[in-house]
Amino acid sequence: MFENLSSKLDAIFKRLKGHGKLTDQNIKEALKEVRIALLEADVNFKVVKDFIQSVEQRAIGREVMASLTPAQQLIKIVKDELTSLMGEGEQKIHLSGTPPVPIMLVGLHGCGKTTTAAKLARYFQEKKKRSYLIPADVYRPAAIEQLQKLGEELRVDFYQPEASQTPLDICLKGRDLALKGGYDLMLIDTAGRLHIDEALMLELREIKTNLKPKEVLLVADAMTGQDAVNIAKNFNERLGVDGIILTKMDGDARGGAALSIKSVTQKPIKFIGVGEKLDALEVFHPDRMASRILGMGDVLTLIEKAEAVLDEKKAKELEKKIRKDSFTLEDFRDQLQQVRKMGSLESILGMIPGLSKKVKGMGGLDFDEKELVRVEAIINSMTPKERANYMIINGSRRLRIARGSGTSVQEVNQLLKRYAQARKMMKRFAQMGEKGFQRGGLPFFS
């Protein structure tokens, strides 16, 4: 996410930090490079122009020149302006009103509406709200079956339309059933087109007029850059939308859509899709995203992800085991499973301040997510006794474990070596105590 832009901005500001003092000329030259980097990231031309003007007005003056660390002060100004560009604070979905509250998803073919409807249902599950899925896309082959399958996976109820029903009929009948069923929300997956046409807009306006949705959310593919921005502008002018969900953000190395769409449409980004799994939907925080772009990490999102997947009771039990030096391979596997729930290793490391820069400085690391699957398979191939006491795993046992997990003896050896190192490190931290942690710091990233 934003990888290309982040690398270029990092290089620009690194050069700037080389100057003890900044002059107007230094700042103008740096901002010229920032301008080029933003344009290359497919940010809207007018948005770039206004952004550079805002930064320059603040930067060339006392705010930077009077600072003890002028380069860092300039970076702070850029961060503030990036945050403002993307919409200041988090924009929550409005759910007030008589249940079931209708939420309508709109967008073109291929933007990810159906999957996003299911992701939203899962998001609201976590908020203890019951959703009812309504498939109003009668044109795309298997669209209804896809939403039904996703609903079954989440155990979220789903309206099964009849073959003769129009999209409006489906929505109205679905609303009646959602009301009888006592659901909190109804998520409407509407039809898309390859391009915006009058027939599509007429259908969407009809649904909007009759159901009066609390939120009309445009789902747009972030990887299409300025096309996504133009589509959002068109939908807003012809239908009226309340917010935007940008999908496929995890594959967007440029970031032009995220940086342009709020300024062009005056509508906030409310969520971003960061993967294919149904839990890969994040609330959009402009300030946190600006931090990620500038390589400052995103600790708050990392903490929230950890809190969402970590079991507090298990965490306390684990702490006791670490203190007693009884951390087993089974515990090791449980921790891996919880880390995997938080997302890809690359995305997690990118949220840790300074670490993403170190990884890039080493020429980048190719994180093989399949390795975690192999590690889990190796541990699963062990007997309970072996998982409890790795010291009994001799040569013949290693060969059996390798065969059972479809791996090699070498991979089994590597895992046992890493596990032994992890045990030593945990024992050391337990002995150091909390003050030792603060004094010594974590050695993983040093």
Whether residues 331 and 382 share a domain: the answer is: yes
76: which residues sit within 8 A by CB, 6+ positions away? none
Residue 339 has pLDDT above 70, yes or no: no
Domain stops at, among 300, 329, 364: 300
Whether residues 278 and 322 share a domain: the answer is: no
Residue 291 confidence (pLDDT): 79
pLDDT higher for 427 or 151? 151
pLDDT tens digit sequence for 213-248: 999 999 988 888 888 888 888 899 988 899 999 898
Whether residues 146 and 234 share a domain: the answer is: yes
Whether residues 66 and 196 share a domain: the answer is: no
Domain stops at, among 86, 111, 140: 86
pLDDT tens digit sequence for 34-51: 899 888 888 888 989 999
pLDDT band per the 50, 70, 90 thresholds, residue 318: low
Residue 358 confidence (pLDDT): 47
CB 161 within 8 A of CB 189: no
Query: In the chain, how many domains are there?
Result: 3
CATH number of the domain encompassing residue 69: 1.20.120.140
**Based on C-alpha coordinates, what's the Rg of the chain?**
26
The answer to whether position 119 is within a domain reads yes
Whether residues 61 and 110 share a domain: the answer is: no
Residue 316 has pLDDT above 70, yes or no: no
Residue 170 confidence (pLDDT): 93
pLDDT tens digit sequence for 324-336: 667 788 877 777 7
pLDDT higher for 289 or 177? 177
Q: Has this prediction a pTM greater than 0.85?
A: no
Residue 302 has pLDDT above 60, yes or no: no
The single-letter DSSP state of residue 94 is P
Average pLDDT, integer, range 136-154: 90
Residue 439 confidence (pLDDT): 39
Whether residues 63 and 29 share a domain: the answer is: yes
CB 239 within 8 A of CB 201: yes
Whether residues 317 and 410 share a domain: the answer is: yes
As a whole number, the mean pLDDT across the chain is: 80
Count CB neighbours of 182 within 10 A: 10
273 closest CA partner among 105, 143, 144, 151: 105
Whether residues 60 and 117 share a domain: the answer is: no
CATH number of the domain encompassing residue 322: 1.10.260.30
Average pLDDT, integer, range 306-324: 61
pLDDT band per the 50, 70, 90 thresholds, residue 303: low
Q: Among the listed ranges 162-171, 332-341, 412-421, which one has the minimum average pLDDT value? A: 332-341
CA distance 362 to 284: 30
Whether residues 204 and 326 share a domain: the answer is: no
Q: Domain residues for 166?
A: 101-300
The answer to whether position 306 is within a domain reads no
Average pLDDT, integer, range 112-122: 93
Whether residues 74 and 110 share a domain: the answer is: no
225 closest CA partner among 193, 244, 253, 250: 253
Whether residues 221 and 269 share a domain: the answer is: yes
pLDDT tens digit sequence for 49-76: 999 998 888 887 665 656 656 777 778 8
Residue 172 confidence (pLDDT): 94
Whether residues 178 and 285 share a domain: the answer is: yes
Residue 176 confidence (pLDDT): 93
